[in-house]
Amino acid sequence: MQFVVQMRPRLSVSSCTARPSVWFGHLSTKNRGWGVRTLQRIPRGSFVVEYVGEVVTFEEAERRGLEYDRQAQTYLFDLDLDGEPVYSVDARDYGNIAHFLNHSCSPNLTIRCVYTQCIDKDLPLLALFAAEPIPKGAELTFDYQMSGAISAEQQQQQQQLGADDASESAAENASVVSSSVGGASSVNGGGLARMRCLCGSANCRRFLFD
């Protein structure tokens, strides 16, 4: 799903009603690094924040992804709305509060592509909206995979990993993985494909896959 926002020629700054109006606070989690919490109640469907960063080509994102994999962290977000991505957003060095949003298999935020002044279909803005009413003080999360579907191959990987030693990787302490609008990231090489999910939700998928 995507939204198109038309700008009226005579719309003044003071009359704009689409401003971000959510107050955020940082949250230190037990095993997922920093997170973000809301300092106010957020109604369902409200715009919360834009995921911003450095826009790079997909090829450059792949190159950076290999380096990020070795660090067990990455902030790459593929803009692959219509199939193969042309660009990616890298929020590691440039970004906003969304840089600290953690993953959850039961997220309270959902992401949508938004077009405003730029109408290039390969360069949408990434807007996060409240997927449900969010109470004051709650941690804000979204699904890094953007899809609840897991392929048969991924399910087999999960079963195999479930039999492995739970302490096999330091990646358990990482809080961010490569994300994708289309559902499955293709930025990562393979270093984070076995990353254990620590969201703790009732329907946790147990592992994050690229």
Asked if 51 is an active-site residue, the reply is yes
Out of 68, 75, 87, 144, the active site residue is: 144
DSSP character string of 145-163: TS-----HHHHHHHHHHHT
Catalytic residue among 51, 68, 75, 87: 51
Q: Measure CA of the first residue to CA of the last residue in the chain; give whole Å.
A: 22
State the catalytic residues. Answer: 51, 144
